[in-house]
Amino acid sequence: MAERHYHEPVMVRETLALLLTDPDGIYLDGTLGGGGHAAAILDGLREGKLIGFDRDPDAIAACRGAFGEELARGERSRVELVHGSYVLACSREELRGQVQGILLDLGVSSHQLDEPSRGFSYRFDAPLDLRFGGEASNEPTAAELLASLDERAIADILYRYGEERSSRRIARAIVAARRHAPIRTTGQLRAIVERCVHPRQRTDVLSRVFQALRIAVNRELEELERFLSCVPSLLCRGGRIVVITYHSLEDRIVKHSLREMAGKAQSQQSPLLRILTPKPLRPQPEEIARNRRARSAKLRAAERV
Ligand SMILES: C[S@@+](CC[C@H](N)C(=O)[O-])C[C@H]1O[C@@H](n2cnc3c(N)ncnc32)[C@H](O)[C@@H]1O
């Protein structure tokens, strides 16, 4: 069983109903987290195989524990864990046209948000990192981005990835503050943002600022676009993709890419996918009542034609 405290998986029933079409097929879970969805997929497999990806070493460690028994079967194991971006699947030649189902459950895990040392949340004072890969990754941290970008580039990030209307004011305050001392911690950033907005707006603005920085640091939207464009080449005929998103920027990208590949966009290309969810599915009210983090989830699915 997967570790339940790491992350409560969202819309599991809806995901399985759309994703699992052949118990002997190859399935990719691009965003393993605590392995909740992956465990549910594995439960539905017979001879099939599950290849799971995550950029976060904590997620891979959690899944190594959760799938220990299966992994111990060595060559006969039905699970493979890959520490790295789901984009890595695109360059695996042996997967071309062979994949029966792909799941992306985007965003952050509860573990990432609730583990103070990761610096993903403004609720705890920690180094301002925000990289999914943590210290093991060699990309710039959020602190390094805020130290190196000019005011306009910071404002652009806050506006584009956080849809934050006070982006310019906050960027100006960040640049003014860093003249006195480098911004190294979530607490420092929080204090700067709080000085820029009305107390009633603080929580929402802080959430948007941290979301924006996380998206920029991890190049989340670029990764998503790159991966979606290779999905048709991975899926076998009748193979399916299910994507769960948690904010409008991601959902827009998924909606437009799937539409484009279904031949519904301006481009004249012949359809590669058939859309299975003309409107995104939303969690049932009972699920939202049980798991607050499900409240913004939207699920879209498509099938290879
Ligand atoms: C919402 S959680 C997934 C939760 C998971 N479905 C479960 O049942 O526990 C999202 C996960 O995706 C990972 N992630 C985000 N972008 C990624 C990428 N480009 N490649 C691989 N993993 C990624 C994050 O590190 C995080 O662990």
Domain co-membership, 157 together with 191: yes
Q: Report the atom number in ligand 1 closest to the C-alpha of 34.
A: 9
Domain for residue 234, yes or no?
yes
Domain for residue 122, yes or no?
no
Per-residue model confidence (pLDDT) at position 238: 98
pLDDT at 282 over 70: yes
Domain co-membership, 63 together with 191: no
Domain co-membership, 230 together with 90: yes
How far, in whole angstroms, is CA 233 from its chain's centroid?
21
| Number of independent structural domains in the chain | 2
User: By CB neighbour count within 10 A (0-12 exposed, 13-18 middle, 19+ buried), where does 289 fall?
Assistant: exposed
Domain for residue 120, yes or no?
no
SS3 47: coil
Domain for residue 265, yes or no?
yes
Per-residue model confidence (pLDDT) at position 227: 98
Domain co-membership, 100 together with 16: yes
User: By CB neighbour count within 10 A (0-12 exposed, 13-18 middle, 19+ buried), where does 292 fall?
Assistant: exposed
Domain co-membership, 208 together with 233: no
33-65 pLDDT per residue, tens? 999 999 999 999 999 999 999 999 999 999 999
Domain for residue 250, yes or no?
yes
pLDDT at 2 over 80: no
CATH of the domain at 284: 3.40.50.150
Domain co-membership, 102 together with 232: yes
How far away, in angstroms, is 48 Cα from ligand 1 center?
22
Q: Is 52 close to ligand 1, i.e. is its CB under 6 Å away?
A: no
Mean pLDDT, residues 180-184 taken together: 97
Percent of the chain past pLDDT 70, that is, above it, reads 97
End-of-domain residue from the set 217, 240, 266: 217
Q: Which residue has the tokens 């498509």?
A: 302
Average pLDDT across the chain, whole number: 95
Domain co-membership, 83 together with 226: yes
How far away, in angstroms, is 57 Cα from ligand 1 center?
11
87-116 pLDDT per residue, tens? 999 999 999 999 999 999 999 999 999 988
Per-residue model confidence (pLDDT) at position 171: 98
CATH of the domain at 144: 1.10.150.170
Q: How confident is the model at residue 1 (pLDDT cuts 50, 70, 90)?
A: very low
How far away, in angstroms, is 193 Cα from ligand 1 center?
27
pLDDT at 268 over 60: no
Q: How confident is the model at residue 232 (pLDDT cuts 50, 70, 90)?
A: very high
Q: State which H helix or E strand residue 274 sits in.
A: strand 273-275
111-147 pLDDT per residue, tens? 999 988 888 999 999 999 999 998 888 899 999 999 9
How far away, in angstroms, is 221 Cα from ligand 1 center?
13
Q: Is 225 close to ligand 1, i.e. is its CB under 6 Å away?
A: no
> Best of 31, 132, 295 to mutate for ligand 1, by most ligand atoms within 8 A of CB?
31
Domain co-membership, 203 together with 244: no
Q: Please tell me the residue having the least CA distance from ligand 1 atom 18.
A: 85
Choose the weakest-confidence range: 187-201, 223-237, 260-274. 260-274
CB atoms within 10 A of CB 169: 16
Per-residue model confidence (pLDDT) at position 3: 45
pLDDT at 256 over 50: yes
* Residue 74 domain boundaries: 12-111+220-304
Q: Is 37 close to ligand 1, i.e. is its CB under 6 Å away?
A: yes
Domain co-membership, 208 together with 225: no
Contact between 198 and 224 under an 8 Å Cβ cutoff? The reply is no
Per-residue model confidence (pLDDT) at position 65: 96
Domain co-membership, 187 together with 237: no
End-of-domain residue from the set 217, 232, 261: 217
Q: Tokens in use for 208?
A: 């948007």
Domain for residue 52, yes or no?
yes
Domain for residue 195, yes or no?
yes
Q: Is 245 close to ligand 1, i.e. is its CB under 6 Å away?
A: no
CB atoms within 10 A of CB 274: 16
Q: Is 227 close to ligand 1, i.e. is its CB under 6 Å away?
A: no
Domain co-membership, 152 together with 243: no
Domain co-membership, 196 together with 260: no
Domain for residue 82, yes or no?
yes
